Copies of this chain bind each other. A is one copy, B any other.
Amino acid sequence: MTHAVVDRLRAALGDRVDTAPATLEDARADRSGHSSSGAPLAVVHAASVEDVQATLRIAHATGTPVVARGAGTGLAGAANAGPGEIVLSTMNLRRVLEIRPDDLLAVVEPGVLNGELDAILAPHGLWWPPDPASRDISTVGGNIATGAGGLLCAKYGVVRDAVLGVDLVLADGRLLHLGHRSVKGVTGLDLTSLVIGSEGRLGIIVGATLKLRRIVPGTPCTIVATFPDVRSAAGGSAAVTASGAQPAIMELMDARSLAAVHALLELDPPAEGLAQLTIRTDGPLAAAEAAQIAEVLRTAGGAVTVTDDAAEGERLLRIRRSMHAAMLTLGTTLIEDVSVPRSALPDMFDEIARIEREFGVPIPTVAHAGDGNLHPNFVTDEPEIPDVIWRAAEELFRAAIRLGGTLTGEHGIGVLKSRWLAEELGEDQWDLQQRIVRAFDPTGILNPGKVFEEGPAFETGPEGSDA
């Protein structure tokens, strides 16, 4: 059965069907630290939309599950493929098809990297705001599939705010054009928004019409403020938000994060307990806004420095950007991703301190403080995440939900958080969401088992994942 599917794929797609052991092994894991239970059947390197459609038609006819995959930089395991599954890679669909400065839009294929897109847009005076930390290596299609965020979201929005339309191949190979090219449009249900963040469960994203912005004029300013402890740093960021200022970036590092990065970058170790805010203002009023923010931070008890020098600004931001690398030097890392209302940030740091004490695990944490999205990191010497860390993470999720927040701000559910999904959504909504998945994919061949752990709702239908 398995070989028959690969044979059919090869007959239709030739050498775009890759069964090299190293390729299959790579497709088992993303950057979450989690791997599937074994190698998938094959990786199809689609070179056209028609290739995607041909693959889906074969998968649909044979009941074979399909896992869509971009650059594999996800942090929730949503693109990890396992035994019996076809991987559909859209990495070779990498063209920018159209750039319209007058309409502030671009039409792109899904495999374009964020970083390379912005390099192509820059000569037109344009950029696409989504900026996940992985922006140099992650794809636009992956950004859309996960509903990615990043550092600039409080001011410039998330992926959902930056996509006008999506081209989607359905489970049976049909191609849909969702959304429009106009700023406004309310024709029928908003399926474009529904596909954003759907993590491969509704269809394969094969094209996107992106909403662009003009490059922001002016000289950005960078502000660094240190505080004696993380709660006062969180209070400082809340004071900035309350002042009405709207920085482009406002990042918070707790003492453990800051110490780990200083060690990695061979900087002098920070004082015990010291936490840091790194803030950037931009636009024509960047300097005035930076001065206003500096004053707010000083009043909140921060030690503040401000610079409008580009190189110095980059050097300061690099400390925040080195967080992930610093964590990797410490061991196996589980990067968490809870999000809370901005006012709850100080309370969430108290909860993290409590969980550290109760479970006896250190939790170095950075936060996109401007929008209330925290990345607590769990680090272990063991190759697999031990049970105590999962129990601590569960406590973290419940704390975030109690504070009016959510399980995941920007990484998605994937396989790592599916067991808590029903707890946040409630059983009724969880069930409804699965019925919507089945409206798109009646036989359940698209990324089965991801986001929604298969429950009774799926038992009566054909279930590709068991093939």
B residues less than 8 Å from A160 (CB atoms): 190, 193
Known contacts A193-B193, A413-B188; A341/B182 CB under 8 A: yes
- Is B182 a contact of A404 with CB atoms below 8 Å? yes
Known contacts A182-B406, A242-B101, A411-B186; A432/B421 CB under 8 A: no
Give Cα distance in the complex from A407 to B180, angstroms: 11
Least CB distance from A409 to B in Å reads 4
- Is B188 a contact of A430 with CB atoms below 8 Å? yes
Give the contacting residue for A405; candidates B101, B182, B190, B373; CB below 8 A.
B182
Give the contacting residue for A339; candidates B184, B426, B433, B436; CB below 8 A.
B184
Give Cα distance in the complex from A436 to B409, angstroms: 25
Closest-by-CB residue of B relative to A342 is B103
Closest-by-CB residue of B relative to A420 is B187
B residues less than 8 Å from A103 (CB atoms): 341-343
Closest-by-CB residue of B relative to A371 is B183
Query: Which one, A22-30, A194-202, A251-259, is touching chain B?
Result: A194-202
Least CB distance from A214 to B in Å reads 5
Q: How big is chain A's contact interface, by range?
A: 35 or more
Interface assignment of A386: CB less than 8 Å from any CB of chain B: no
Give Cα distance in the complex from A429 to B179, angstroms: 11
Known contacts A147-B190, A425-B187; A409/B182 CB under 8 A: yes
Give Cα distance in the complex from A410 to B187, angstroms: 9
Query: Which one, A111-119, A170-178, A261-269, is touching chain B?
Result: A170-178
- Is A184 a contact of B404 with CB atoms below 8 Å? no
Give the contacting residue for A435; candidates B174, B413, B439; CB below 8 A.
B439
Give Cα distance in the complex from A373 to B181, angstroms: 12
B residues less than 8 Å from A339 (CB atoms): 180, 182-185
Interface assignment of A311: CB less than 8 Å from any CB of chain B: no
B residues less than 8 Å from A407 (CB atoms): 187
Per-position 1/0 for A367-380, Cβ under 8 A of B: 01001110000000
Give Cα distance in the complex from A165 to B153, angstroms: 18
Give Cα distance in the complex from A438 to B147, angstroms: 26
Per-position 1/0 for A302-326, Cβ under 8 A of B: 0000000000000000000000000
Give Cα distance in the complex from A442 to B437, angstroms: 15
- Is B341 a contact of A181 with CB atoms below 8 Å? yes
Chain A residues proximal to chain B, CB less than 8 Å: 100-105, 125, 146-147, 149, 153-154, 157-158, 160-161, 170, 174, 176-178, 180-191, 193-194, 196-198, 201-202, 214, 238, 241-242, 244, 284-285, 339-343, 368, 371-373, 404-413, 421, 424-426, 428-430, 432-433, 435-440, 451
